[in-house]
């Protein structure tokens, strides 16, 4: 029988546990490199100026109310989100073969996609996740009963992509597997395939009839260029793949707590594509209704105003360049400092990796020393959030890394 006493305690979420330890550390030297949220040069959360503007306009709108959105969310938002993914002039949009629903940020989009595939895929195939991947992928796909496997991704000695290992697994995985791909700024490694490697990945996936499931949580945040960061997804769509995309606006709009995201399903081109897409939309709506009824309005209203107004859109692109530019400066600055000190090892991966995170190669023991002796907080796998570095703490962090590596 079920009683309260039959439930054992769950382990603490490692990332949220780390955040708590940081908050409770009284040291004035402490450095938070754990959480994946953008910080400005004073280690403070940054409200994008364009978001503030859109927010004010919404507040002053006399027609604003707090009614429910529709099941699929704010239509102006999902259509703009769709254009951002595939490009405004994509044949997939013209052919009406993309269906899009607003979701509870990227997490909700990954979940909705997983649930949909688990229910509607006739074989319940294995979903292959990169090793390593965003830890939540494992939990989300397990919750919807999709079997999970890994494909090699991070090469420990080069601290780059294990392209051979990845291709090998894509070749030998059972035909028709689902492959989860990070569209850009891979979390946690910061390692992305090159465009040429993406083409080879697409070719083997086509040959093996694998289904691409893209997770994009950092568009515009990696290179500062929205189209460039969407290149891989757009390439797969142009190649005629049937695929799905989980899209988060948490990082690129700084709307973390507003839970703003979208799920897109792109059907392959063909005479029945628009009809299939409408069928899929109808099924997704039923799943959405049973899970969340309808998505939250506020963040979508903000993003929608910006995405649908050319002047605000241009300001958003400036804000993206501000964030990605500061991160690139911190990457260059950290590498330069370590090299100047002669810190043992090759630090070129700090600048070849991209996006919010860097897989430093620091061992778990070194990470623990950094925490205990230096009050520097990062995850045990050696991942740092570049956004936690700034001109005030970068020298201190370089000194700390140098001391634990020697």
Could you tell me where the DSSP H helices lie in 5-150?
A: 14-24, 49-59, 75-86, 91-94, 105-120, 136-143
Binding residue (CB under 6 A) for ligand PMP from 102, 107, 304, 353: 107
Backbone torsion region of residue 2, taken as left when φ is above 0, otherwise alpha when ψ lies between -120 and 50, otherwise beta: beta
Per CB under 6 A, 134 contacts ligand PMP: yes
Helix (H, G, I), strand (E, B) or coil at 323: helix
Per CB under 6 A, 118 contacts ligand PMP: no
Provide the minimum distance between the beta carbon of 284 and ligand PMP in the complex, in angstroms, as a whole number.
Answer: 18
Per CB under 6 A, 105 contacts ligand PMP: yes
Helix (H, G, I), strand (E, B) or coil at 103: strand
Q: Which is nearer to ligand PMP, 250 or 354 (CB)?
A: 250
Helix (H, G, I), strand (E, B) or coil at 261: strand
Both structure tokens of 38: 């953008």
Per CB under 6 A, 114 contacts ligand PMP: no
Q: Which is nearer to ligand PMP, 224 or 254 (CB)?
A: 254
Q: Choosing from 134, 316, 347, 374, which is the catalytic residue? A: 134
The region of 99-107, 145-153, 227-235, 307-315 touching ligand PMP under the rule CB under 6 A is 99-107
Q: CA of 113: how far to CAs of 94, 211, 224, 355, 377, in Å?
A: 23, 12, 27, 24, 33
Binding residue (CB under 6 A) for ligand PMP from 39, 182, 264, 383: 182
Q: Choosing from 162, 192, 215, 229, which is the catalytic residue? A: 215
Per CB under 6 A, 193 contacts ligand PMP: no
Q: Which is nearer to ligand PMP, 188 or 333 (CB)?
A: 188
Residue with tokens 């990169």: 130
Per CB under 6 A, 261 contacts ligand PMP: yes
The footprint of ligand PMP on this chain (CB under 6 A) covers a number of residues equal to: 12
d(CA 406, CA 403) in angstroms, rounded, equals 6
Binding to ligand PMP in span 7-36, by CB under 6 A: 36
Q: CA of 234: how far to CAs of 175, 203, 227, 355, in Å?
A: 23, 15, 9, 19
Counting every residue, how long is the chain? 406
Provide the minimum distance between the beta carbon of 118 and ligand PMP in the complex, in angstroms, as a whole number.
Answer: 18
Per CB under 6 A, 250 contacts ligand PMP: yes
The region of 27-35, 65-73, 104-112, 169-177 touching ligand PMP under the rule CB under 6 A is 104-112
CB of 139 closer than 8 Å to CB of 172: no
Residues labelled catalytic? 134, 215, 251
């Amino acid at each position: 029988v079920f009683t309260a006493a039959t439930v054992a305690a769950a382990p603490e979420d490692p990332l949220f546990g780390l955040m708590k330890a940081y908050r409770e550390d009284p040291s004035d030297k402490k450095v938070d490199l754990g959480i994946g949220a953008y910080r400005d040069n004073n280690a403070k959360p940054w409200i994008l100026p364009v978001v503030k503007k859109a927010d004010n306009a919404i507040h002053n709108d006399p027609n604003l109310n707090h009614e429910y959105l529709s099941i699929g969310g704010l239509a102006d938002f999902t259509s703009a989100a769709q254009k951002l993914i595939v490009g405004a002039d994509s044949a997939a949009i013209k052919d009406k073969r993309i269906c899009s629903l607003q979701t509870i940020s990227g997490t909700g989009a990954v979940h909705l996609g997983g649930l949909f595939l688990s229910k509607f895929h006739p074989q319940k195939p294995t979903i292959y996740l990169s090793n390593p991947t965003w830890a939540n992928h494992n939990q989300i796909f397990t919750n919807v009963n999709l079997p999970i496997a890994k494909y090699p991704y991070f090469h420990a000695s080069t601290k780059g992509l294990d392209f051979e290992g990845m291709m090998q697994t894509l070749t030998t995985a059972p035909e028709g597997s689902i492959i989860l791909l990070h569209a850009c700024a891979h979390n946690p490694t910061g390692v992305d395939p090159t465009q040429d490697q993406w083409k080879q990945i697409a070719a083997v996936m086509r040959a093996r009839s694998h289904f691409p499931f893209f997770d994009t949580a950092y568009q515009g945040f990696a290179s500062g260029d929205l189209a460039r960061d969407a290149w891989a997804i757009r390439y797969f769509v142009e190649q005629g793949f049937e695929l799905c995309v989980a899209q988060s606006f948490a990082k690129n709009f700084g709307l973390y707590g507003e839970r703003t995201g979208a799920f897109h399903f792109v059907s392959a081109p063909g005479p029945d594509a628009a009809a299939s897409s409408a069928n899929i939309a109808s099924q997704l709506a039923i799943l959405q209704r049973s899970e969340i009824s309808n998505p939250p309005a506020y963040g979508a209203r903000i993003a929608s105003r910006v995405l649908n107004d050319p002047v605000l859109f241009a300001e958003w692109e400036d804000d993206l360049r501000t964030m990605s530019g500061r991160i690139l400066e911190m990457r260059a600055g950290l590498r330069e400092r370590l090299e100047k000190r002669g810190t043992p090892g090759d630090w070129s991966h700090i600048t070849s990796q991209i996006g919010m995170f860097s897989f430093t190669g620091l061992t778990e023991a070194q990470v623990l020393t950094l925490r205990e002796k230096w009050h520097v907080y990062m995850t045990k796998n050696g991942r740092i959030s570049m956004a936690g570095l700034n001109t005030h703490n970068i020298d201190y962090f370089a000194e700390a890394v140098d001391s634990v590596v020697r």
